[in-house]
């Protein structure tokens, strides 16, 4: 466990996107504890803002080399129970604060992010940055040294997870999603502190024409919030030209690994 958590001190640049996930651990029939199984990498509310008049998102699937329309709940946007419920709740708190902060900007009532609230954007960008890098579990259990643990029923395990507790099974096996959740949150908070030092402020930019794409793996301190608006590492707020938009979208496309999406990919100047 210590060795795994120590990985949270590695430089961000060393973080790969993990390959392939093993078959996900199932809940009890019917999921009576309502544990979150499909965990969005980019918030559902944010994805929904990129929906067309029918609420569908235009997705470029890089793996299958195809473009298709998807609902915001589509599995392509989700991890499959890659972190535990305690971590999911912590993440939801960060998301909710961010959605409240940008609501006036999205509604056209404000064109700036108050400097005293920039920490909220730091946390949200760090959250989005880390989740795709931890969305796959290469194993479902981690074996701890010493063979410690408890004999627990499935009901007991799920009740413990629902209430925010970690647990170790008899023989020393711990669900990998619990350690993965710990690593993610350590990474998020550490990266948010780095952003506070490296980013002067989050500027609000608006595309004069064309629309932003959203990558599956962010890397450029650019956070699209609507098809025409994005938060970026800039001193000033304002409009950008079609050429600027094209350059930004090309950079975000280059960082994408499995997919990127937009409201209308034909308007993204790619």
DSSP states along 103-165:
HHHHTTS-SS--GGGHHHHHHHHHHHHHGGGGS--S-SEEEPTT---B---HHHHHHHHHTT-
Residue 229 has pLDDT above 50, yes or no: yes
Order the strands of the 229-233 sheet from edge to edge: 222-224, 229-233, 202-207, 238-240
Mean pLDDT comparison of 18-27, 77-86, 151-160, highest-scoring range: 77-86
The answer for 229, left when phi > 0, alpha when psi is -120 to 50, beta otherwise, is: beta
Q: Report the predicted TM-score, pTM, of the whole model to 2 decimal places.
A: 0.90
Does the pLDDT of residue 13 top 80, yes or no? no
Mean pLDDT, rounded, for 5-28: 58
Residue 173 in contact with residue 149, Cβ under 8 Å?
Answer: yes
Pairing of β 202-207 and β 238-240: parallel
Region 67-79: mean pLDDT is 97
Question: Where in the chain are the domains?
Answer: 2-7+36-260
* pLDDT at site 19: 56
Predicted confidence (pLDDT) at residue 163 exceeds the cutoff of 50: yes
Q: What is the pLDDT of residue 172?
A: 87
Q: Return the structure tokens found at 220.
A: 């450029």
pLDDT at 149: 80
Average per-residue pLDDT for the chain: 91
Q: What is the pLDDT of residue 98?
A: 98
Distance CA 262, CA 95 (A): 20
Instruction: Tell me what the mean pLDDT of segment 151-158 comes to.
Output: 92
Interhelix angle 85-106/176-198, rounded to 10 degrees, is: 40
- Residue 28 has a pLDDT of 93
Cα 88 to Cα 82: distance, rounded to the nearest angstrom: 10
**Confidence grade of residue 17 (pLDDT, cut at 50, 70, 90):** low
């Amino acid at each position: 466990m210590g060795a795994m958590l120590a990985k949270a001190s590695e430089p961000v640049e060393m973080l790969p996107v993990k390959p392939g996930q093993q078959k996900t651990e199932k809940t009890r029939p019917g999921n009576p504890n309502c544990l979150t199984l499909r965990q969005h990498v980019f918030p559902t509310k944010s994805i929904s803002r990129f929906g067309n008049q029918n609420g569908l998102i235009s997705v470029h699937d890089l793996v299958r080399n195809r473009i298709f329309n998807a609902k915001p709940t589509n599995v392509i946007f989700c991890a499959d129970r890659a972190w535990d419920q305690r971590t999911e709740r912590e993440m939801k708190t960060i998301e909710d604060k961010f959605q409240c902060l940008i609501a006036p900007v999205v509604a056209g009532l404000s064109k700036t992010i108050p400097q005293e609230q920039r920490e909220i954007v730091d946390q949200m960008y760090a959250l989005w940055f880390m989740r795709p890098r931890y969305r796959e579990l290469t194993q479902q259990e981690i074996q701890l040294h010493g063979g410690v643990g408890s004999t627990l029923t499935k009901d007991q395990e799920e009740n413990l997870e629902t209430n925010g507790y970690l647990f170790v099974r008899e023989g020393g096996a711990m669900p990998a999603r619990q350690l993965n959740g710990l690593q993610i949150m350590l990474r998020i908070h550490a990266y948010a502190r780095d952003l506070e030092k490296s980013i002067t402020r989050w500027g609000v930019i608006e595309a004069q024409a064309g629309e932003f794409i959203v990558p599956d793996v962010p890397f450029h301190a650019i956070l699209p919030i609507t098809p025409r608006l994005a938060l970026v590492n800039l001193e000033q707020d304002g409009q950008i030209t079609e050429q600027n938009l094209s350059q930004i979208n090309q950079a975000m496309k280059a960082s994408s690994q499995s997919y990127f999406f937009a409201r209308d990919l034909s308007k993204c100047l790619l």
